């Protein structure tokens, strides 16, 4: 193991510094309907078009009345009824109550709602059943309690998920300005690769990293641009890198180890690359390469420095997935104008101890399955997925996270609270 390689933490810091630079650049924006908005990044703040709720709103089926009168258990005359969708009723006179449904406007003068289960109504006379009492404000959400007209409810950079889309709808926005997704070129390299539609001959394998990386890019907010796989020779790689020139971010898989046919680094160097690191002390994924290429015509960004980030991801599928999640995803979210911070980690209880680590000094990311259906007040439990090294795609597909084994740890014990990388 070369000690010249950055540690995991050092590599994270190098990538974060580049991501911070990219965050300063404003991606261009486009307008999408709410139906197309899931996962997109808001380009402008969302403002409340009116108070939320727009009127004092009953949260219960029952009777609007005065808390002081109801709590004294006086008989109150039921003088009217409002259900959700009806205009607010007129002022409520003393000694009166107003039947009201959940979501309906509370008439002025009433300061509480008695739940239907807590009253008796005899011949139009309502009484709160003793010993119950009511406080002013009970079962009512005041007008504007959640937001005032003109309040900023969502910041630019917010990733639109179901709740944010619902909020936009509540504010009358049928369409939203969102950032144009960064275009991410995905270039698989390797003489052994054939497209998924082809029948591999002995010695060949299907290019599974291409579709996997495309899916990872889409989930992280990018627009995947799958290039045809490139062969392991200088000419093919130079041509493929030239083809990827218009991308906002470039992901290359394979060809970054130290083998005779690992020709990606020299090809990047010929294209004018500046390397931030060529290897990280992690496992899997140690040969990961990260740097910047000069940009000829970036589509989306006003990039004064005219560079674009690239990652040379190791070809083994587990290595490709881990290195994407740890390093490429945060750069992608920065390019996307997103405030979301990736990668996502969580804490869990380790179901059974890890093997003794033979090569300390590497931060390890082991495929694992976390049972998030934990019982109340307990951390979810995570178990390692048996695997046969970083080429074990089937094991990767059985995992829903990676167990993080810190570089100084030789072994993590059963029952330890551990960090997991979610994916
Ligand atoms: P490399 O990083 O180029 O040395 O690739 C290491 C190994 O990863 C190869 O021998 C393949 O088994 C596998 N591999 C490389 N590229 C891909 C790919 N695009 N899809 C699936 N497996 C790949
Ligand atoms: Mg290769």
Instruction: For residue 88, give Cα distances in angstroms to 59, 91, 152.
Output: 15, 9, 27
Predicted TM-score of the model (pTM): 0.92
**For 303-355, what is each residue's pLDDT tens digit?**
555 789 999 999 999 999 999 999 999 999 999 999 999 999 999 999 999 98
Burial class (CB in 10 A: 0-12, 13-18, 19+), 260: exposed
Of 34-43, 80-89, 152-161, 264-273, give the lowest mean pLDDT range: 80-89
Over residues 59-69, mean pLDDT: 97
Q: How far is the CA of 23 from the centre of ligand 2 (A)?
A: 33
Q: Model confidence at 376, in pLDDT bands (50, 70, 90)?
A: confident
If you measure from the C-alpha of residue 40 to the centroid of ligand 2, how many angstroms do you get, rounded to a whole number? Answer: 34
Name which of 81-90, 103-112, 128-137, 411-420 the model is least confident about: 81-90
Is the pLDDT at 296 greater than 70, yes or no?
A: no
Dist. CA 254 → ligand 2 center (Å): 5
Find out whether 178 and 32 touch, Cβ atoms under 8 Å. yes
Distance CA 288, CA 277 (A): 8
Question: What DSSP letter does each residue of 90-101 carry, written as one string?
Answer: -PPPTTEEEEE-
> Ligand 1: does its nearest atom lie under 6 Å from the Cβ of 143?
no
How big is the chain, counted in residues? 423
pLDDT at 1: 43
Contacts of 158 (CB under 8 A, 6+ apart): 41, 42, 46, 164, 339
Alpha-carbon distance 104 to 63, whole Å? 11
Mean pLDDT within 14-41: 96
Band (373; pLDDT cuts 50, 70, 90): confident
Ligand 1 center to 218 CA (angstroms): 21
R_g of the chain computed on alpha carbons: 30
Look at strands 307-313 and 249-253 and give their pairing: parallel
Name which of 34-38, 72-76, 189-193, 409-413 the model is least confident about: 409-413
Q: Looking at the predicted structure, is the pLDDT value of residue 177 above 50?
A: yes
Give the number of the ligand closest to the Cα of residue 287: 1
Averaged pLDDT, 131-153 = 97
Q: What is the mean pLDDT of residues 347-372?
A: 91
pLDDT at 211 > cutoff 70: yes
Give the separation between CA 241 and CA 226, rounded to whole angstroms: 13
Q: Is 240 in the pocket of ligand 1 (CB under 6 A)?
A: no
Exposure string (b/e) for 218-241, b if CB count within 10 Å is 16 or more? Answer: eebbbbbbbbebbbbeeebbbebb
Distances (CA, A) of 384 to 212, 355, 403: 21, 10, 7
What's the pLDDT at 192? 98
Task: Number of helices (H) and strands (E) in the chain: give both, helices first.
Answer: 9, 26
Q: Can you tell me which atom of ligand 1 is nearest the CA of 287?
A: 2
Please give the pLDDT value at position 352: 94
Q: What is the pLDDT of residue 318?
A: 98
Helix/strand/coil for 12? helix
User: What is the model's pLDDT at position 299?
Assistant: 56
Calculate what percentage of the chain has a pLDDT beyond 70. 96
The H or E element that residue 14 is part of is helix 8-23
pLDDT over 70 at 2, yes or no = no
Q: Whose CA is nearest to atom 16 of ligand 1?
A: 315
Between 359 and 365, residue with greater pLDDT:
365
Alpha-carbon torsion, ordered 286, 292, 297, 302, to 10 deg: 110
pLDDT above 70 for 205: yes
Tell me which H or E stretch contains 289: strand 289-294
* The predicted structure's pLDDT at residue 124: 95
Q: Please say if the pLDDT value at position 172 is more than 90.
A: yes
What pLDDT shows up at residue 288? 98
Residues 161 and 257: their CA atoms lie apart, in Å, by 39
Handedness of CA 158, 160, 162, 166 (dihedral sign): positive
Contact 187, 244 (CB under 8 A): yes
Q: Is the pLDDT of residue 270 over 80?
A: yes
**Does the CA dihedral 355-357-363-364 come out positive or negative?**
negative
- Residue 233: CB within 6 Å of ligand 1? no
CA atoms lying within 13 Å on the CB side of residue 228: 10
Average pLDDT over residues 193-208: 97
């Amino acid at each position: 193991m070369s000690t010249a390689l950055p540690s995991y933490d050092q590599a994270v810091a190098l990538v974060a510094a580049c991501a911070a630079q990219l965050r300063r650049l404003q991606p261009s924006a486009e307008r999408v309907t709410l139906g197309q908005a899931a996962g997109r990044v808001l380009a402008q703040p969302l403002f409340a078009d009116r108070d939320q709720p727009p009127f004092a709103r009953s949260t219960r089926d029952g009777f609007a009345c005065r808390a002081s009168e109801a709590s004294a258990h006086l008989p109150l005359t039921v003088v009217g009824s409002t259900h959700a969708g009806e205009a607010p009723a007129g002022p409520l006179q003393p000694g009166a109550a107003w039947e009201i449904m959940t979501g309906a406007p509370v008439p002025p003068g009433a300061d509480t709602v008695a739940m239907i289960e807590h009253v008796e109504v005899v011949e139009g006379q309502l009484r709160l059943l003793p010993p119950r009492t009511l406080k002013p404000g009970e079962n009512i959400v005041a007008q504007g309690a959640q937001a005032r007209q003109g309040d900023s409810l969502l910041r630019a950079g917010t990733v639109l998920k179901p709740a944010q889309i619902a909020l936009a709808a509540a504010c009358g926005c049928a369409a939203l300005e969102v950032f144009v997704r960064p275009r991410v070129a995905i270039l698989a390299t390797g003489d052994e690769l054939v497209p998924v539609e082809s029948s591999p001959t002995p010695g060949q394998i299907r290019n599974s990293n291409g579709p996997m990386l495309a899916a990872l890019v889409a989930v992280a907010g990018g627009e995947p641009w799958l290039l045809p796989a490139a062969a392991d020779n200088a000419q093919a790689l130079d041509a493929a890198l030239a083809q990827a020139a218009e991308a906002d971010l470039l992901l290359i898989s394979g060809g970054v180890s130290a083998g005779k046919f690992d020709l990606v680094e020299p090809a990047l160097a010929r294209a004018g690359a500046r390397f931030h690191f060529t290897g990280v002390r992690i496992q899997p994924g140690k040969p990961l390469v990260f740097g910047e290429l000069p940009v000829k015509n970036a589509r989306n960004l006003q990039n004064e420095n005219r560079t674009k980030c690239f990652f040379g991801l190791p070809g083994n599928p587990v290595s490709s997935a881990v290195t994407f999640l740890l390093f490429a995803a945060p750069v992608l979210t920065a390019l996307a104008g997103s405030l979301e911070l990736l990668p996502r980690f969580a804490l869990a209880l380790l179901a059974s101890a890890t093997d003794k680590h033979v090569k300390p000094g590497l931060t390890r990311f082991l495929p694992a399955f976390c049972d998030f259906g934990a019982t109340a007040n307990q951390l979810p439990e995570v178990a390692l997925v048996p695997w046969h090294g970083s080429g074990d795609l089937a094991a990767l597909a059985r995992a829903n996270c990676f167990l993080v084994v810190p570089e100084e740890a030789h072994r993590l014990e059963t029952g330890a609270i551990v960090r997991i990388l979610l994916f």
